[in-house]
Amino acid sequence: MLGTGTPNPDPERSGPAVLVVVNNTPYLFDAGAGVVRRAEQANRAGVAGTAPGRIGAAFLTHLHSDHTVGLPDLIHTGRIAGRKAPLQLFGPPGTSAMAGHLAKAFREDIRIREEGLEPDKGNWWKTVARNVTGGEVYRDSNVVVTAIPVPHANWKTALAYRVVGSDGRVIVISGDTGPSDGIVKACDGCDVLVHEVYSAERLKARPADWQAYHRGAHTSTVELAALAGRARPKLLVLYHQLYWGGTDEELLAEIRAAGYTGAVLSARDLAVYE
């Protein structure tokens, strides 16, 4: 778990970024603030497959800034860190246009590096971006990745992802979403369900307009307890946690009080879950 944060700046939590490693090969889901530094932290801590230069495929759940602001870092610092091929990028409609705009924004950096004195040249700064809306979006010898449309406020397309490893393990990553039957179906007893959450109790103290927004855009502890009860993951991992002054223990207590009895953890940056 590279980053578990939200749009709120928290020095303890980088932006949303989930790294799935299969056979020492990393696959990144979302690129929030600090993603490359977090990957290098994990690499220096000895977590196999997390070196930033090894990240060759990334998947965006939606295009909110907190999930994408680390994308130029991933593209350009990943190249400097040793990536030897263009970044493969998948995400909802708008992803390809975003990648194209980023290439234009950094054109002077690219030109100087390609035409100047730096000896390591190549097209590895490029991004091969594909817009996707659902279904199988990626397959190699390690993983099959399927996109699942989910509801997230006013976004026409937001996605969760189901990752099936070559060992048969299944991981589902929610992205930002309200309660979704699609996630229940995609998990269906999966090994790990990584799901966003907000405190149902703490929401009550928020302004009415923000209450309406969060109810329409995200998943409460009470709603997640019901969803996870139907999805039956072997492990439920909370991320993108909206605490509003609360704690991990409070989130977990709310989920338990709502009737969920399965294994559940509240994620921290750089934690490893299997």
- Please state the φ and ψ torsions of residue 78, each to the nearest 5 degrees: -60, -40
The pLDDT confidence band at residue 115, using thresholds 50, 70 and 90, is confident
H-type helices in 31-94, by residue range?
A: 35-44, 65-68, 71-80
Q: Tell me, yes or no, if the pTM score tops 0.75.
A: yes
pLDDT of residue 104: 95
CA distances from residue 30 to 61, 146, 249 in whole angstroms, order as listed: 6, 15, 26
**Residue-wise pLDDT tens digits, 208-242:** 999 999 999 999 999 999 999 999 999 999 999 99
Average pLDDT of the chain, as a whole number = 95
The pLDDT confidence band at residue 250, using thresholds 50, 70 and 90, is very high
pLDDT at position 79 over 90: no
Cα separation, 87 vs 64, in Å, equals 20
User: How much is the average pLDDT of 20-46?
Assistant: 97
User: How much is the average pLDDT of 1-6?
Assistant: 96
Per-residue tokens: 61: 């759940």
pLDDT at position 120 over 80: no
Q: Mind listing the domains of the chain with CATH numbers?
A: 18-266 (3.60.15.10)
pLDDT of residue 231: 98
